[in-house]
Amino acid sequence: MTQNITTDRILILDFGSQYSQLIARRVREAGVYSEMYAYDASDDEIRAFAPKGIILSGGPESVYADNSPKIPQAVFELGVPLLGICYGFQAMTAQLGGVVEAGDVKEFGYAKIDISQADKLLANMADEHNQSQVWMSHGDKVTKLADGFSVTSSTPSCPYASASDESRHFYGVQFHPEVTHTDKGETLISNFVHSICGCGSLWNSENIIELRIKQLQEQIGNSEVLLGLSGGVDSSVVAALLHRAIGDKLTCVFVDNGLLRLNEGDQVMQMFAENMGIRVIRADAENRFLTALAGVTDPEAKRKIIGREFIEVFSEEARKLDGIKFLAQGTIYPDVIESAKSKQGKAHVIKSHHNVGGLPDDLAFELVEPLRDLFKDEVRKLGVALGIPYHMIYRHPFPGPGLGVRILGEVKKEYADILRVADDIFMQELRASGWYDKTAQAFAVFQPVKSVGVVGDGRRYAWVIALRAVETVDFMTARFAHLPYDLVDKISTRIMNEITDVSRVVYDVSSKPPATIEWE
């Protein structure tokens, strides 16, 4: 069987489980391209995707509830292997003539499956007792298999922990192979995509770069492309990728809004313009942003002003350029999934994180989005493979409005200058102590209040700096990082000694929820 990076692909149908995205990531980690569609994708969409296998995700519903999500008919008719996970297994069973019932008890947590028949799916999963540790999370369970299926593993409370109909290549598991709590989850996913679906392990940085460059060259031809470069991971990777694909047909505009970290503007120019030879126009717009922000204290109003000014400055620079046909953007796959969900009205906005609205009508460019189908970890690996320094790629996230939301209340240059130095000291010490990589995000926050201190024989009446460091995986919830007191001591002493305008440093001990990560 010939293997091909563009045709070896797995479709994941999402029935609403919190783990659905993880399935897509695990399949990609196994070296196979995958995409996630909503369970009610049309038969035509499913056929057009031309998957070599389909995975049906878990979901919160019960198959017998009114209007419960159904597996589209095309899924059974395509003739490709199927793997149903949890709800996916139950729905498959019910639709193929088996029986699913409400369990007496909900099963949630670790379980050991007894493997009675190591079919292709469970190959190499069993330990010396023919068992394997898995993660369960379900209420309903399959109580009678559909015709053609036979049981392959069970637990004391779940007679059909997994089952298969190998003649049709239909497989089902009640447990969740995509979560790390399932010991051999990776093996199961790999068994499915490789030995059952016949996909090769082709989805890796080197091949993705080669494929993307070819696609970009085809899409762009000899035209000119414009990119808004922020110095963040996504736009940096887009810049490096486009530069490889189309060389000097790429022009980047870097808007320095005066709310960046210490020396960040110079570093971006050094990295992209000097080291990589990319054409970057730096728009120094500090005064303009600060003027627009003068007197404004409301966080949402500040975000909107920063977003609006960005668009204006960027548009002015774009209008100075001739012959641009395309606008490149660093949209990544989770953005695509999230915006599809919010269109269904499921999102609840706590802070407006949409930094950039659309460009004005006179700048009607076609879009180039070379990262649109990639997860963040894939984008990072691509960045490293493209030669962007590791420390830029594995940097903590930095919000679009920058220090604008880390200076509480009104933003002033004096405050931003103090905050930049304090933040830099904090980062230096986190890196030196090895804590930078143990925290997901850390930064200093400027408090526009004065506090009394004493220096030598004198009294100091100066500003307060708060330090914030959090541990989190998804940024939806976060725990304040338990930094060692000695480290906090060293950081606060340095900040107060090295910045005469700071008289006090405090450490933020709030977790999210109820606090958010940023202070505004």
Other Cβ atoms within 10 Å of 206 Cβ, number: 11
Closest CB to ligand XMP among residues 28, 302? 302
Burial (CB count <10 Å: 0-12, 13-18, 19+), residue 8: buried
- Give CA separation, 509 vs 326, 443, 481, in Å: 46, 13, 8
Is 425:495 a contact under the CB 8 Å cutoff?
yes
Q: At what angle do helices 286-293 and 299-319 cross, to 10 degrees?
A: 150
Active-site residue, selected from the candidate residues 138, 176, 252, 429: 176
Among positions 190, 251, 441, 492, the unique one binding ligand XMP when judged by CB under 6 A: 441
176 is catalytic: yes
Among positions 69, 98, 177, 399, the unique one binding ligand XMP when judged by CB under 6 A: 399
Q: Which stretch binds ligand XMP (CB under 6 A): 72-80, 169-177, 199-207, 397-405?
A: 397-405
357 sits near ligand XMP (criterion: CB under 6 A): no
Active-site residue, selected from the candidate residues 61, 169, 178, 309: 178
Segment 248 to 267, residues that bind ligand XMP, using CB under 6 A: none
518 sits near ligand XMP (criterion: CB under 6 A): yes
Cα(173)–Cα(191) distance, integer angstroms: 13
Site string for ligand XMP, 401-440 (x = CB under 6 A): x---x-----------------------------------
Question: Quick one: which H or E segment has residue 470?
Answer: strand 458-471
Closest CB to ligand XMP among residues 84, 299? 299
Active-site residue, selected from the candidate residues 86, 158, 197, 252: 86
What the block records as the tokens of 126 is: 């069993």
219 sits near ligand XMP (criterion: CB under 6 A): no
400 sits near ligand XMP (criterion: CB under 6 A): yes
Identity of the amino acid at 364: A
Site string for ligand XMP, 38-77 (x = CB under 6 A): ----------------------------------------
Q: How far is the CB of 379 from ligand XMP (least distance, A)?
A: 15
- Give CA separation, 519 vs 408, 418, 482, 510, in Å: 7, 17, 18, 10
Q: How many CA atoms lie within 13 A of 10 on its CB side?
A: 35
Is 153 annotated to bind ligand?
no
303 sits near ligand XMP (criterion: CB under 6 A): yes
Cα(160)–Cα(157) distance, integer angstroms: 9
475 sits near ligand XMP (criterion: CB under 6 A): yes
What the block records as the tokens of 478 is: 């976060």
511 sits near ligand XMP (criterion: CB under 6 A): no
Q: How far is the CB of 285 from ligand XMP (least distance, A)?
A: 18
Cα(318)–Cα(422) distance, integer angstroms: 35
**Maximum separation of any 2 CA atoms in the chain, in Å:** 88
397 sits near ligand XMP (criterion: CB under 6 A): yes
Is 230 annotated to bind ligand?
yes
**What are the residue ranges of helices labelled H in 264-365?**
264-268, 286-293, 299-319, 333-343
Is 231 annotated to bind ligand?
yes
Is 247 annotated to bind ligand?
no
Closest CB to ligand XMP among residues 97, 397? 397
Active site residues: 86, 176, 178
Residues that bind ligand XMP (CB under 6 A): 303, 351, 353, 355, 397, 399-401, 405, 441, 475, 512, 516-518
